[in-house]
Amino acid sequence: MPRIPQVDQEACISCGLCVSTCPGVFRFNENGKSEVYDPAGAAEREIQQAIDGCPVQAISWKE
């Protein structure tokens, strides 16, 4: 079963790193915060790069 990323909306600072790293997975919502719209839109390693690069650790894998 593939892992699914999630974004903590409270922690997100709208820097756009995840959106630029994985535009097939992340986008900005109507509040200007990052959200996952297609968890299968990129390989897990690419999503992990977005997770590792998030300056406020707002992205994680769902448990």
User: In 3D, which of 38, 33, 25 has the Cα closest to residue 58?
Assistant: 33
CA distance 63 to 33: 21
Taking only the tens place, the pLDDT of each residue in 7-57 is 999 999 999 999 999 999 999 999 999 999 999 999 999 999 999 999 999
Task: CATH number of the domain at 26, please.
Answer: 3.30.70.20
Domain span holding position 45 = 5-61
Q: Give the total number of structural domains in the chain.
A: 1
CB-CB contact of 63 with 5 (8 Å): no
Quick one: which of 52, 48, 53, 56 has its CA closest to 17?
Answer: 53
This prediction's pTM: 0.93
